[in-house]
Chains A and B, each alone.
Chain A
Amino acid sequence: MYCLWCDEELIVHVNWLNLFQPESRMNVCDQCKKNFIKIEGKVCVKCGRPFERLKCHDCIRWDEFYDGDDPLLKNVSLYMYNEFMKEVITRWKYRGDYIIGELFRLAFLAKFKEQYLSLLKDVVVVPIPVSRARAMKRGFNQANMLASFLSSTVKDVLVQKHLEKQSKKTRIERMTTINPFSITEPINKSVVLVDDIYTTGRTLRHAASLLKNNGCPEVYAYTLIRS
C-alpha cells in the first residue's frame, strides 16, 4: 500500500478486524493524516463551524433572511478548511484525481453514524448535483462519491442547470442567485443533503427549500468541510 496523498509506502497492519475488509485499512500515512484537522469541541448548533456560543452571526442572518423559517435545519461538517485541505480539494475536484476521495471514506461514515443515524430513524441521503457539462469534464460528482460512502439509501433526485462556479463569486453575488436546481421525484422522509463543502450555505438552502416545497418534512446537511 502507498499513501494516497504523498505516495510514500505504508506499513499496513493486518489484524483480525481488517483481514477480510481491505478497504478498512489505512490508506494515508501518519504525516499526511496530521494535516486533516477534524472539527471538534464547541460548534455553532446550526452550521457546525467551531463557535463558542450557541449560534453564529451568519446563521442568525439566515434566520432573518427566511423569517425564522430556514429550510435547512442543521449542517454538520467533518473537517476544517486550511491550506492543506485546499490543495487536497483542488487535486480531487478540479484536477479530477478521483481516488483521493477514498481518503475520507471511513471518517466520513463514522461521523455520519454518530451525528445523524442515532437521531433519525428513516433517512434518505441526497447528493448535491453538478451540472451535466461539468460532470462530463470532471468525470465524476464529488458529492455522489461522498454519499456512496454512507450506509443509508441514496437518492439522486436533484438536477442542476449549468451555471457559473460558486467559488468564483463574492458573498453578495452568491446570496442573490436564483435556485439552480430542479427535482425529479418528491421525497416524504427526512433528507440529509451531502456536499463537499459548506461555505455560505446558499447552495444547500436552495436544494433544501426545493425539497421542502415538494413535501419533504425536514432537511439536514452533511458536508466534508466547513470553510
Chain B
Amino acid sequence: MHWGFIAIALLYVGILVLAPLVGIAWVAIQAGWSTIATTLRQPDVVHAFYLTAVITLITVAVTSVFGVIVAVVITRDRFPGRPLMSAFVDLPLAVSPVIVGLMAAVLFGRGGWFEPWFSSHGIQILFAVPSMVLVTIFICIPFVIREVVPVLKELGVTEEEAARTLGASSLQTFFRVTLRNIRWGLLYGVALSTARAIGEIGAVLIVSGAITGKTETATLIILRFFDQYQDAQGYIVAITLALVSILLLVAIETFKRRQERMRQT
C-alpha cells in the first residue's frame, strides 16, 4: 500500500508540476543560443527586467519594514479592533490581481478619487511606475506579516523583558533581541514577497498601459511577445524568469527549514 500511495503522489506532482518546467526548458533550448542571446540583449527586454527589479526592490523594502511593524503591533499591542487588523492583513490574499488593478484605476484613474490632486501637481500615477509599485505592494503585504506573527507569538516577551532589565533601550532590544529572533521567519516572508512581486501580472497589466520601454515589466513583455506571435522570444524571457524563481525557491526552502528548525528548539 505504501509504495502505491507514494507512487501516485510522485506521479501526480511530477506530471502536474515538473513536466511543464521540463517542457519550457526544452522549447527555450530549441530556440538556439543565438536567439537566446539576442533576445536577452534587446533593449526592451533589458528595460523590462530592470523595471521588474526596481519594482520588486521597492515593494520588498516597504512590505518588510512596515510588515515587521504591523506584526509587532498585532502580537504585542492590545487595542479594540485588533482582530480586524488581522483580517485586513489577509485581505490581499483573497483578492484577484485584476481587482487590485481596478482599485488603483478607481483611485487614480480619470475621475478617480485622488486623480485631481495628483494631476494638478503634475504627478502621474496610473499608466506609470508609481501605480505599478503601489499595486505590487498591496499584493505583497501579507507575506512578511504572516510569517513573522507566529514567531513573535511563540517567542513571548521574556527575552525582551530580560534585555530590558539588563539595561537595554527599546531600540536596542528590538534590534538585538526581537529582530534577531524573527530573522528566519522574516527572510522567509521576504523571499515569498520577492517571488510574488516578480511574478505579478494581472494588476500591473491594468495599471501600467504596458508602454514598451517605460512601463513594461518582464511579465508584461512576455505577454506582448505572445500577443505578437513572437513565441520564441516569449519562451526565452519566461524561462529566464523561471530560473530566477527556482533560485528564489532554493532560498525559500532554506529559510523555511531554518525557521522550522528554530521553532523546534
**Chain A complexes with chain B:** no
Chain A interface (Cβ within 8 Å of chain B)?
A: none
